[in-house]
Amino acid sequence: MSAVQMKEERLLQVILAPVISEKATMLADKREQVIFRVATSATKPEIKAAVELLFKVQVKDVQVANVKGKSKRFGRFNGKRSDWKKAYVCLKPGQELNFAAGE
């Protein structure tokens, strides 16, 4: 397996899912930002390269936030949801991502 192919496989595993919420759609409209749920080991350059590879858009900037899992009770047992990482991807002017169109 070549280094380029291995790197491409890693990039395909970086982005897990888009975050679709009221805040996410507001950011997409006002600031041309898209929010993704990403692997906890992902770095900013990896996230940028993965978005550019998968969606064929140009990325201006990436901001990352670690989200702590909530404590939950299951009957008489205490549990905890796992921590996860969120990436705010700022697109260059004129670029757009549309998840509903099914590119």
CATH number for the domain including 83? 3.30.70.330
Residue 67 domain-assigned (yes or no): yes
Total domain count, the chain: 1
- Surface-to-core class of residue 10, CB atoms within 10 Å of its CB (0-12 exposed, 13-18 middle, 19+ buried): middle
Residue 82 pLDDT exceeds 70: yes
Please tell me the least confidently modeled range out of 1-5, 60-64, 81-85, 87-91. 1-5
78 domain-assigned: yes
The whole-angstrom separation of Cα 91 and Cα 48 is 10
Decide if 26 contacts 8 (C-beta within 8 A).
no
Domain extent, residue 81, equals: 3-91
This prediction has a pTM of 0.85
Q: Residue 101: inside a domain, yes or no?
A: no
Q: Please choose, from the candidates 18, 31, 3, 43, the residue with its C-alpha nearest in 3D space to the C-alpha of residue 95.
A: 31
Buried b or exposed e, range 28-39, using 16+ CB within 10 angstroms:
beeebbbbbebb
- pLDDT of 102 > 60? The answer is no
Q: Over range 39-67, report the average pLDDT.
A: 94
- The greatest distance separating any two alpha carbons of the chain, rounded to the nearest whole angstrom, comes to 52
Q: What is the DSSP letter of 50?
A: H
Q: What is the reported pLDDT for 8?
A: 86
The answer to the question of residue 80 being in a domain is yes
